[in-house]
Amino acid sequence: MIKRVAFDHAWLPYVLVAPQLAITIAFFFWPAGQALFQSVLIEDAFGLSSKFVWFENFERVFGDPNYLNAAGVTAVFASCVTVASLSIGLLFAVMADRVVRARHAYQTFLIWPYAVAPAVAGVLWGFLFNPTVGIISWILKQSGYNWNYLLDGDQAMFLIVLASVWNRVPYNFLFFLAGLQSIPKSLIEAAAIDGAGPGRRFWTIVFPLLSPTAFFLMVVTIIYTFFETFSVVHAVTGGGPGKATEILVFKVYSDSFRALDLGGSAAQSVVLMAIVVSLTVVQFRYIERRVHY
């Protein structure tokens, strides 16, 4: 935790941590505290007075069918993106680990979408699937399938899942590849000598050894789908059609800045914070357990 040899200085360490602490308090602790505080208050229509209402905001939020809808949409979205991007990332990593020639070139060509902003990824795929000018929707229409994600909720969901997966596969690919390369070759060779084929070796040796990586990536990807994909939704579908793609963080945004429902949006923020904190705790506990074996 600390060095065996350390400096003793009366004021220097405080000066050194001051900038980070000041910013953390001003833009993190203060707003988070405000959200907690607002979540138990209801303001009157003119914002002149507010009264303490215990958990009424939370009851209102959880009783709101729109909120439950958003929670369901988020669950579908998060699980689709997590499953798809993890399995595709793993597939590419296993294949890239197998080839000897041109591995580095493949890596370069597969990882760069990580650098593309989720919003831009959404715009690119939105263009391909645009009902009037998109090339893929044109092909779909030629083959008799009626594609219009601006009207069909399931198609809109498919589109944002596709854009997010495209954006997220490189990340999972890199971590799986690093995990694969840290597996001792002697294990694989021993299994091969015992007569296990590639498939058998993958499922009985490689896959179990990769499970910590997979678990870590799962948590990180869920957090990604909860928050960073706000921009995909905002840029491509705007939560529509109807409320078919309104994820939780999008609803916080629209309740805050459009509906101006302070108490309700603060309560939603608190719920989201609780979700992130518990995911983080789960992850840290798991990593701690992993250290012991």
Partner 1 sequence: MVERRPILTFFAHATLILGVVMVALPVYVTLIASTHDQARMLQAPVPLLPGDHFLENLVTVLITGLGASQAAPPVGMMLLNSLVMAVTIATGKIAISILSAYAIVYFRFPLRMTFFWMIFITLMLPVEVRILPTFKVVADLGMLNSYAGLTVPLIASATATFLFRQFFLTVPDELLEAARIDGAGPMRFFVDILLPLSRTSIAALFVIQFIYGWNQYLWPLVITTDESFYTIVMGIARMVNVVDAAARWNQVMLAALLAMVPPVIVVVVMQRQFVKGLVETEK
Which of 46, 49, 52, 115 is the binder for partner 1 (CB under 8 A)?
A: 115
Judged by CB under 8 A, the residue of 70, 174, 222, 244 near partner 1 is: 174
| Closest distance to partner 1 from the beta carbon of 234 (Å) | 7
Quick one: which segment of 64-72, 78-86, 151-159, 262-270 binds partner 1 (CB under 8 A)? 262-270
**Quick one: 37 or 62, whose CB is closer to partner 1?**
37
Q: How far is the CB of 163 from partner 1 (least distance, A)?
A: 9
DSSP string, 191-206: HHHTT--HHHHIIIII
Q: Is the bond preceding 19 in cis, omega lying within 30 degrees of 0?
A: no
Q: Which residue type does 33 have?
A: G
Quick check: 158 binds partner 1 (CB under 8 A)? no
How many angstroms separate the CA atoms of 98 and 100, rounded? 6
* Binding of residue 83 to partner 1 (CB under 8 A): no
Q: Binding of partner 1 at residue 100 (CB under 8 A)?
A: yes
Q: Which of 8, 44, 194, 288 binds partner 1 (CB under 8 A)?
A: 8
Q: How many CB atoms lie within 10 A of CB 189?
A: 11
- Binding residues among 127-156 for partner 1 as defined by CB under 8 A: 127-128, 132-135, 138
Helix (H) or strand (E) holding 24: helix 12-24
In whole angstroms, the minimum distance from the beta carbon of 193 to partner 1 comes to: 9
Contact criterion met (CB below 8 Å) for 51 and 41:
yes
Q: Quickly tell me which residue has 């070796």 as its tokens.
A: 201
**Which of positions 240-259 make contact with partner 1 (CB under 8 A)?**
249, 252-253, 256-257
Whether the CB-CB separation of 106 and 96 falls below 8 Å is answered with: yes
Beta bridge partners of 43: 50
Q: Which of 68, 151, 259, 277 is in the footprint of partner 1 by CB under 8 A? A: 277
Which one of 109, 145, 203, 207 is in contact with partner 1 (CB under 8 A)? Answer: 109
- Residues ≥6 apart with Cβ < 8 Å to 64: 264
